[in-house]
Amino acid sequence: MRCLAVCQDELVIRMLDEILVPGFEVEFIIENRPLARRLQEAGVTATSGDPRRMDTFVKADIGPTTCVIIEDNGKRGLKKILEAVRDAGGTLTYVLGIGPAANSTRADEFHTEFPDVAYLSMSALFGGPLLTEFSRSLTRARVQQYQRYFSDADRVLILLHNEPDPDAMASGLALRNVLRRTKTTAIIGAIQGVTRPENVRMVNLLDIHVEAITQESLKEYDRIAMVDVQPHYFGGLIDRVDLVIDHHPEQPGYTAVFKDIRPDYGSTSTILTEHLRAVDVNISERTATAMLYAIKSDTLFFNRSTNRVDLEAFSYLYPLSDAALILKMEGAEITGERLDYVLAAHRGGILSDQVFCAFLGTMPREDFIPYVADFFLQLEDVKWTVIAGIVGETLVVSVRNLGYTKNAGEFVRRFFADIGSAGGHRAMAKAVVPLQAFKDKHGDLAPDAMSAKLQQFAHEFLAHETPGKSELRGQKSELEVKKS
């Protein structure tokens, strides 16, 4: 996030630089040329200019999503600076009261003439409210921009990934609310529908309709938004969309008018919670229940890929949701069919050095594979699970770990990206490989040899991979395969 700070006091400048730089791209506009030069030599990004002139901010390339902080030390000229910022197109403006200047009378005075300007005291720098307020303002600006863009469309498609999971469906409901649309003017759709038992149960209990979408039907919509997925996932079917909101690592190869991608968030529903709150949209009990369940599911109840904001979203949604419905949805996890594959993995799997690997053979649906991977990660002394099975003509591999060890996404990319698609997060990943490509590289392995082969891959990776490098590369996933 970009921030322009109009300050003249060196102590304030250095304090702001220290506090903001870790999370913001900060540039200081300083009237005093010698001070600007001295700060530049010290490594501070600073330019000299007259902050009372509009062209100073035009040259600084101010935009509607640029945060502008203006120091108020009680001297005259502040209103001229605010007018120059406004005339240059600035909309996210904060006045920072310094010393005696920071009082409620001063704040009321500026709010009357500049209602969009937030007045903060210097003490706000030390408690976190300033950073929180900046973040919310940026989210508000993003949401208002895409709300206006979608407002004149007759039909909107909110597209989910194949076999939509709770996070995708909840995010679809949330985005429909943000856009202030109904189920007839904003369709939630997927190319392949919902079949996993717990997801079917969620659909039925919350009355969620996911419409079947084809390549031809995509042309029927005036705007297309994607949640919990990016266009690369569809293999070239869609190369341009109007909006992407996702918590998976950003991928290249497509164009989006608007996008909000936050890979450090544990779920897309967390991002949408912030969008709803930023523009003060009322969240219905049904939507809150879906989003709360989604955050629990995608973070394994905060046991993986969890951020502080996920906890904040959970706390906000909890009193708005129906806890009894969530318990009913969670009760669909175990089925007789799934139990059969758990028992098969138990009989044929290999546990070695806290790594459990199993090959499940041929199966009708791939959702059994990640289920078994999640199940065995709960066992005592298991820190990694690598589970594979054959669905149609492809080998599907799901990988799980406890999240504080090495990167699961990098593991699947190392061994499978050259012969198929592979990607994922630090704690969960997936590979989808044409069966013939796997055989060409590794030979036609007997079923009982497949578990040993997976163990070989895992131990080779864990023995040689450097945690730091793995972690870094894991943030730059070449291909995020849904859903792990």
Q: What is the DSSP string of 239-280?
A: -EEEEEEESSPP-SS-EEEEEEE-TTSS-HHHHHHHHHHHTT
pLDDT band at 404 (very low <50, low <70, confident <90, very high): low
Q: Clarify whether residues 221 and 160 are in a common domain.
A: yes
pLDDT given at position 379: 87
Q: Clarify whether residues 285 and 379 are in a common domain.
A: no
Q: Clarify whether residues 87 and 110 are in a common domain.
A: yes
Q: Clarify whether residues 326 and 342 are in a common domain.
A: no
Helix (H) or strand (E) holding 169: helix 166-178
330, 349, 370 — which closes off a domain? 330
Q: Clarify whether residues 350 and 316 are in a common domain.
A: no
Cβ proximity of 141 and 275 under 8 Å: no
CA 377, 379, 382, 388 torsion-angle sign: negative
Residue 25 has pLDDT above 90, yes or no: no
pLDDT band at 328 (very low <50, low <70, confident <90, very high): confident
pLDDT tens digits, 368-378: 898 899 889 88
Helix (H) or strand (E) holding 413: helix 408-416
142 lies in some domain: no
148 lies in some domain: no
Q: Clarify whether residues 342 and 297 are in a common domain.
A: no
Cβ proximity of 422 and 480 under 8 Å: no
Mean of pLDDT values over 136-158: 90
Among residues of the chain, what percentage have pLDDT more than 70? 86
Residue 309 belongs to domain with CATH number: 3.90.1640.10
pLDDT given at position 480: 42
Cβ proximity of 389 and 362 under 8 Å: yes
pLDDT band at 467 (very low <50, low <70, confident <90, very high): very low
Q: Clarify whether residues 458 and 393 are in a common domain.
A: yes
Nearest C-alpha neighbor of 135 from the set 268, 3, 280: 3
What is d(CA 341, CA 358) in angstroms, rounded to the nearest whole number? 10
Q: How many CB atoms lie within 10 A of CB 200?
A: 13
pLDDT given at position 471: 39
- What's the angle, vertex CA 387, arms to CA 383 and CA 390, rounded to 5? 175
**Residue 345 — φ and ψ, nearest 5°?**
-65, -40
483 lies in some domain: no
Residue-number span of the structural domain to which 8 is assigned: 2-127
Q: Clarify whether residues 383 and 460 are in a common domain.
A: yes
479 lies in some domain: no
Higher pLDDT, 474 or 41: 41
198 lies in some domain: yes
270, 302, 330 — which closes off a domain? 330
Mean of pLDDT values over 322-340: 77
302, 330, 358 — which closes off a domain? 330
Residue 83 has pLDDT above 70, yes or no: yes
Q: Clarify whether residues 345 and 317 are in a common domain.
A: no
480 lies in some domain: no
Residue 100 has pLDDT above 70, yes or no: no
Q: Clarify whether residues 299 and 437 are in a common domain.
A: no
pLDDT band at 186 (very low <50, low <70, confident <90, very high): very high
Q: Clarify whether residues 15 and 41 are in a common domain.
A: yes
Q: Clarify whether residues 216 and 235 are in a common domain.
A: yes
3-state SS assignment for residue 124: helix
By DSSP bridging, strand 223-227 and strand 240-246 are parallel
Residue 308 has pLDDT above 70, yes or no: yes
Q: Which residues contact 46 (CB under 8 A, 6 or more apart)?
A: 13, 27, 28, 29, 30, 36, 39, 40
135 lies in some domain: no
pLDDT band at 306 (very low <50, low <70, confident <90, very high): low
57 lies in some domain: yes
Mean pLDDT across the chain: 84
Residue 282 has pLDDT above 80, yes or no: yes
What is d(CA 268, CA 260) in angstroms, rounded to the nearest whole number? 10
pLDDT given at position 478: 34
Is 0.75 topped by the overall pTM?
Answer: no
Residue 44 has pLDDT above 70, yes or no: yes
Residue 441 belongs to domain with CATH number: 3.10.310.30
Mean of pLDDT values over 384-396: 94
Lowest mean pLDDT among 127-131, 220-224, 433-437: 127-131
Residue 225 has pLDDT above 50, yes or no: yes
Q: In which residue are the tokens 């009355």 written?
A: 207
Residue 361 has pLDDT above 90, yes or no: yes
The domain tally of the chain equals 3
Residue 93 belongs to domain with CATH number: 3.40.50.720
